[in-house]
Amino acid sequence: MKRKLLSLIILCLVVAFPAFSQTKVITGKVTAAEDGLPIPAASIKIPGTKIGTQTDVNGKYSIAIPPSAKSIEFSFLGFATVRENINARAVINISLKSDATGLNDVVVTGYYKRNKESFTGASTTITRKELEKFNTNNIFLLIQSVDPAFKVAQNNVKGSNPNVVPEISIRGIGSVGSNVNTPLVILDGFQVSMERLYDLDINRIESITLLKDASATILYGSRGGNGVVIIETRLPKAGKFTVTYEARPTLTLVDLSAYNLMNANEKLTYEKLAGAYTFTNETVSDPFWTSDYQMKLDNLYAKRLIDVKSGVNTYWLSQPVTSSISTAHSLRIEGGNEEVRYSIDASYQDVKGAMKESGRKKYGAGFNLVYRIPNKISLRNYASLTGNNAYNSPYGSFSQYVNMNPYERIYDDSGQLISIYNKVGENFGNTFGGNVYNPLYNASLPYKDDSHSAIISNNLSLEWFALKDLKVDILATIEKQFDDSEKYISPLDTRFISVKAKEDKGSYVLTNGGAFRYEARLSLQYSKRIKKHQLNAVLAGELRASTVQKTIYSLTGFVDDRFVSPSLALKYATDTRPDYTETPERLLGIPFNIHYDYDNRFLLDLSSRIDGSSKFGKENRYGSFWSAGVGYNLHKEAFFENNIASQLRIYANVGENGNDSFSANMTSTSYQYSSNGVYNKQIVAQYTNQGNPSLTWPKVFQTDLGLQSKIFNRIDLRFDWYNKVTNRMISQITTAPSLGFPNNSIFENLGKVRNRGFEISTSTLVTNNDRNNFSWYINLNVVSNRSKLLEISDELKKLNESNVVRDTIGGVANIVRPSVYFEQGQSMGVIRGGRSLGIDPANGREMFLTSGGQVTYNWNSNNQTIIGNTEPKIEGVLGTTLSYGRLSIQANFNYSLGGDVYNQTLVDRVENATPYLNVDKRVLDERWKQPGDLVNFKGISDNTVTQVSSRFVQRENYIRFSNLNINYDLGQGLLRKLKLQRVKFNLSTNDLFRISTVHMERGTDYPFSRTYNAGFLIQF
């Protein structure tokens, strides 16, 4: 009996043991191998089952496992997945190594980091690995090559001038004015200027994130309406002491392919056909003087003909430009242990421009220190010095050389610069266009046009893991900026030839100033997971303040230019005196976000922010902003399992934020005391600025619908549709002189504009061979944006007239170029002018269609209408990447289709061309000559002024080979022999070619250029 009872007990224990085993719990912590910091929301799964969990805010986890479990899988986006055998362990701690290929699935908002699968906004992330493929110094074109929604405006006037920061926009133009559509830039949690980003050393960057809709940008409230660019810099790595050096030499070649100017023989022929050498002047009736003038013209033509026959054919375009080699150096030193890590970085870059003696020097140095107490505190401090030195060319505007006639010599027979051309005679006046001055003469004189800027800053960030589910972040920055500039023009410069008084000759303008800024933020982050429910919340308060000062001195009266010093000036420039301005700004904000997801399938985001800003009127100092977003990860559903799409997520959001990219003096009225004004024996205060205390926040209401999918494990697809409405947009308007406002201007809330469009991004793995380590990707991005002016105020209607550009030709103010025009129901990019029916073959005159449908030869401003739209129908990037072993080749092409352009070159250098300056070759070949000619341009002898006409609106489709990048890394075997950690070589080129359906001059003030780059990185 006892033996039976014992057998029964043993059997029960054997049966019960698996049940007890089911209660086994494994705990541990997941940290980042790079810095040892905990990884919240990391995924822990039991392979082959649906059992899983996530880490808490401190990176800790606890999971109950079945007896059949042999391993646990740890993963987090941006890190390599690790599978660990359980064996008999009850505690498993894991350090995950970063994986750059997955970092673009992590969204950095500047307030928190979130898995893209749980993010309900539209964003693009560029990782460190992607940045290294672009061996370029132009960070803006790099971002545009990855996401064309980040639009870099083509500046056909300033071209490739390294000292001009281009205008940037994301998802269209929402306000009227210059640089008022610029996105917000956040560097390591703090706001910086677009120029600061322009000068930033790319080697310092860990990732770039573009936030594009309301849900993504809402935590920036009044500043986020134009989109946000988030820059995260590299943290020091723990472990072995490491030194990294990179050198990047760049060859710059000027691009003059857009110019189609006449040579000497062609130009002389054109002048003869245009009647330039035939004297006609109704005011001269005396035959003697008529004969004398004609003789001088004949002699002038004969002299020039002899010069042309003797081989004079000066290519003036080559005189102010040069091929240059620029250099960039970057050094990084880092080391430390898990508790204390440090890094020192330094960079220097001398970007030489295409115009002689122009360029921009950029420099920076910083010390980064990280201290941490595991599970308690992480402290980071970064102290830095950054700056630039911009120097502009003494050769002046490139357009001066475009105008010069090719039959003119640069030097006389004795080798001296010829300073003046067209010196026909004392009494000849301007019959042949007047005197023309050699721009090289001015370039040979003493000249200075430099500016310097330096910023000393200290950034401090503290992470305190106060409770298991609560983290406290404290960020603070303080910086001091120093600015100065000098511009000196010699008294011997030709622009002072007509100035008689010596005390008014020459010019020296000095500007001194700077800024002091500080910013602080306190944020609380709460994270709690209960079974399948995940709740995250962020509450913050922040303060930003800055004070900008500037002093300007304008001096004149330089007797000699052998010594360049402001102390040699005889006086202040006429009607000027030292000018000092001080502009304070203050911003207070309270952002809040709450995020909920159920089983990582259903997502909900609710956010709000309250802002107070000193930029806006006392009647509208505060504003509130909000957003709501939802998402659904269909691929997490059991029913979704298929062999086609391994990922499918949809999201939508709606919200309202603002835009404060405006001057701080919009709402402040200011005065200035003047010794020139005395009233009742008292010094008067002059009106200098009219503020508008009623000015209120522009509100940007946005809606976004998005889809993201992975098809056949080869095609990554992303689609976004958006609708963005800016209400109460702000612009500076021109007022009637009778109002007495300074500069006849004031800022107003003007109307409402809508930007609507879509973005498509695809990346396709064409082939992949792990055995040979070969892969080929093709990526295509398509962007479309259409704007529409929904409401227009009376002030904006009046602004249309003040925007009209009138060029005085023949003593008459003519409208020869389109102006910015605003019309309700139309695009912000409309072109307005007369409707042309072309050139009448019978007489070579242009025919117009009036607003009443009549045909006429007379252009009338009242008949102007919409004749084009500069907004392209689609634009984007087509690229490909080939990788074989340690070699990678990447090529990107930017394209634009369906936009209109007004070809000003055809107006200025063909029809309104003066025979006294060089012109486009089409003047000879494509203008009307005789009855029956079917041509696009009026006759050469037709001297009537061509005004804005639909004849010059052309549809522009173009493709630009934006960059080619070749990278090669040395193998580990060779590196071990050399006792190095890494060696990388890089070759690249930017703007290799551009093919367009429109032939128009580009870079009229400063030419465009192409760059060829090499790179060498060594790490030991």
Select from 824, 804, 647, 852 the least CA-distant residue to 750.
824
CA distances (Å), origin 302, targets 269, 411, 438, 715: 12, 20, 22, 70
- How far from the centroid of its chain's Cα atoms is residue 120's Cα? 25
Region 604-624: mean pLDDT is 88
Q: With helix as H, strand as E and coil as C, how does 198-233 read?
A: HHCCHHHEEEEEEECCHHHHHHHHHHCCCCEEEEEE
For the beta carbon of residue 764, count every other beta carbon within 10 angstroms.
16
The predicted-structure confidence for 508-535, as pLDDT tens digits, reads as follows 999 999 999 999 999 999 999 898 999 9
Give residue-wise pLDDT tens across range 40-96. 778 888 887 768 888 887 788 888 888 888 889 888 766 778 888 888 788 999 888
For residue 316, is pLDDT > 90? yes
Band of the pLDDT at 8, cuts 50, 70, 90?
very low
The size of the chain, in residues, is: 1020
* Cβ proximity of 782 and 760 under 8 Å: yes
DSSP strand E in 770-833: where?
774-792, 807-809, 812-814, 830-833
Q: How far is CA 96 from CA 29, 37, 77, 575, 790, in A?
A: 11, 10, 10, 68, 52
Summarize the confidence of residues 997-1006 as an average pLDDT.
94
User: With 70 as the cut, is the pLDDT of residue 1000 above it?
Assistant: yes
Rounded CA-CA distance 601/1010 in Å is 48
Distances in whole angstroms, Cα of residue 7 to Cα of each of 10, 17, 88, 150: 5, 16, 29, 77
How much is the pLDDT for 668? 76
* 629 backbone dihedrals φ, ψ, rounded to 5°: -140, 145
Which of 16-20, 780-784, 844-848 is predicted least confidently? 16-20
Cα 534 to its chain centre, rounded Å, is 37
* Choice among 111-125, 138-152, 744-758 with the minimum mean pLDDT: 744-758
DSSP state, residue 322? -
Separation between Cα atoms, residue 457 and residue 478, nearest integer Å:
6
Bridge partners (DSSP) of residue 932 are none
723 within 8 A of 743, measured Cβ to Cβ: no
What is the pLDDT confidence band of residue 675, given thresholds at 50, 70 and 90? low
Question: In the predicted model, is pLDDT for residue 812 greater than 50?
Answer: yes
pLDDT range class, residue 19, cuts 50, 70, 90: very low
Report which of residues 50 and 727 the model is more confident about.
727
**Nearest C-alpha neighbor of 893 from the set 778, 764, 768:** 778
| Mean local confidence (pLDDT), 316-335 | 95
445-448: Cβ within 8 A, 24+ apart = 445/394, 445/490, 445/492, 445/493, 445/561, 446/488, 446/490, 446/561, 446/562, 446/564, 447/394, 447/488, 447/489, 447/490, 448/486, 448/487, 448/488, 448/564
pLDDT band of residue 479 (cuts 50, 70, 90) is: very high
State residue 545's pLDDT score: 95
Please name the residue that has the structure tokens 């006086």.
571
| Region class of 504: left (phi > 0), else alpha (psi between -120 and 50), else beta | alpha
Please count the CA atoms within 13 angstroms of the CA of 409 that sit on its side-chain side.
17
List phi, psi (to 5°) of 447.
-155, 150
User: How much is the pLDDT for 677?
Assistant: 65
Q: How many CB atoms lie within 10 A of CB 252?
A: 24
Strands (E), 915-952: none
Residue 720 has pLDDT above 90, yes or no: yes
**pLDDT band (50, 70, 90) for residue 229:** very high
Its pTM stands at 0.87
Residue-averaged pLDDT of the chain: 88
The pLDDT value given to residue 13: 41
Q: What pLDDT does residue 17 have?
A: 41
Whether the pLDDT of residue 425 is over 70: the answer is no
| Residue showing tokens 């050769």 | 395
Helix pair 287-309, 264-273: axis angle to 10 deg: 160
**pLDDT higher than 80, residue 187:** yes
For range 7-32, the mean pLDDT:
60
On whether the CB atoms of residues 408 and 314 are closer than 8 A, the answer is yes
* The amino acid at 846: E
Q: Which residues contact 19 (CB under 8 A, 6 or more apart)?
A: none
Question: How far is the C-alpha of 334 from the C-alpha of 242, rounded, in Å?
Answer: 5
Structure confidence at residue 18 (pLDDT): 44
| Residues 344/367, Cβ–Cβ less than 8 Å | yes
Q: Which residues contact 976 (CB under 8 A, 6 or more apart)?
A: none
252-307, pLDDT tens digit by residue?
999 999 999 999 999 999 999 888 888 776 566 677 777 887 888 888 899 999 99
The string of pLDDT tens digits covering residues 529-552 is 898 999 999 999 999 999 999 999
